């Protein structure tokens, strides 16, 4: 009789703690698989977004379960503290990238097409034919979008180099080769350029490998060459600052490349 009462009075383990740990673990594994699959091209981008949504819901549900398990532990002395702690920590780790994305949405303007020349941006001719109906359409920037870009990204500006077109093109190709971007429209032979060279490529974001179309335009301006660049996201209403960072990073590296080869380089904003 005493042994029966002892077993009866033992605190029970709440099931919510185990469910929290299991759900959080599954969301973490699903997130890793989805990111790796998208990087390798095994998952299409629209499906990838759906999977990310499911991951976020699972991680949030795991946090709710851990909170419920903690309340049971606090009020009734149930067991399962280790499982609910692991579930809560895993859930927070999985949700951390989503929280950072929400922060970026709040900080950066809602733009998805950035150009150093907002009046006459470089053409994305090949990109227009490659884009499917579920991708963003390539449209002319509105006055509001131009204002947002000018306020948020003042460093996104074209470059004027006091060098011939062929020498600047050589440096552009050198920097382009280091980026690892997929060139879809290579530059024509310099004798066929007729004073202007247009290059198109596809780049992917570092973490999620989201694709963006790029255009680089070089214009012979007599004693100098003007370089403009454009980057447009294929998916999403918000680029989270990725396109502007890509343009400024490329042009900064181009400045350094030309300075190393020619000994001098000057920059100017588009007129």
Q: Which of 253, 262, 250 is nearest to 225 (CA)?
A: 262
Put simply, whether the predicted model's pTM sits higher than 0.85 gets the answer: no
Give the per-residue pLDDT at 11: 58
Alpha carbons within 13 A on the beta-carbon side of 89: 6
User: Taking the domains of the chain in order of start, what are their residue ranges?
Assistant: 2-107, 113-262
Give the per-residue pLDDT at 211: 92
Q: For domain 113-262, say whether CATH 3.30.310.80 is its number.
A: yes
Give the per-residue pLDDT at 230: 96
Q: Answer for the pair 216, 172: CB distance below 8 angstroms, yes or no.
A: yes
Give the per-residue pLDDT at 6: 46
Give the per-residue pLDDT at 269: 40
Q: Answer for the pair 127, 138: CB distance below 8 angstroms, yes or no.
A: yes
Give the per-residue pLDDT at 118: 92
Give the per-residue pLDDT at 5: 46
pLDDT mean by block of 10 residues, the chain; 271 residues: 47 72 91 92 91 95 83 62 81 94 92 93 90 90 92 93 91 92 89 85 88 94 92 92 94 92 53 46
């Amino acid at each position: 009789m005493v042994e029966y009462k002892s077993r009866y009075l033992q605190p029970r383990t709440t099931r919510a703690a185990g469910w929290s740990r299991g759900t959080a673990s599954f969301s973490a594994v699903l997130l890793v698989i989805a990111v790796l699959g998208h990087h390798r091209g095994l998952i299409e981008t629209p499906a990838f977004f759906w999977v990310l949504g499911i991951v976020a819901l699972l991680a949030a549900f795991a946090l709710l379960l851990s909170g419920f398990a903690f309340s049971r532990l606090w009020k009734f002395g149930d067991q399962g503290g280790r499982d609910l702690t692991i579930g809560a920590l895993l859930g927070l780790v999985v949700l951390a990238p989503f929280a950072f994305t929400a922060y970026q949405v709040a900080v950066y303007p809602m733009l998805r097409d950035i150009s150093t020349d907002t009046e006459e941006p470089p053409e994305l001719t090949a990109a227009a034919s490659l884009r499917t109906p579920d991708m963003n359409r390539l449209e002319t920037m509105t006055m509001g979008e131009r204002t947002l870009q000018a306020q948020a990204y003042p460093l996104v500006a074209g470059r004027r180099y006091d060098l011939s077109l062929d020498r600047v093109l050589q440096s552009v190709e050198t920097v382009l080769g280091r980026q690892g971007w997929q060139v879809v429209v290579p530059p024509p032979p310099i004798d066929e350029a007729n004073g202007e060279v247009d290059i198109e490529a596809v780049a992917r974001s570092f973490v999620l490998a989201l694709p963006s179309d790029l255009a680089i335009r070089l214009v012979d301006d007599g004693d100098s060459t003007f370089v403009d660049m454009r980057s447009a996201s294929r998916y999403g209403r918000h680029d989270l600052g990725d396109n502007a960072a890509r343009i400024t990073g490329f042009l900064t590296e181009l400045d350094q490349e030309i300075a190393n080869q020619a000994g001098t380089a000057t920059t100017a904003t588009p007129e």
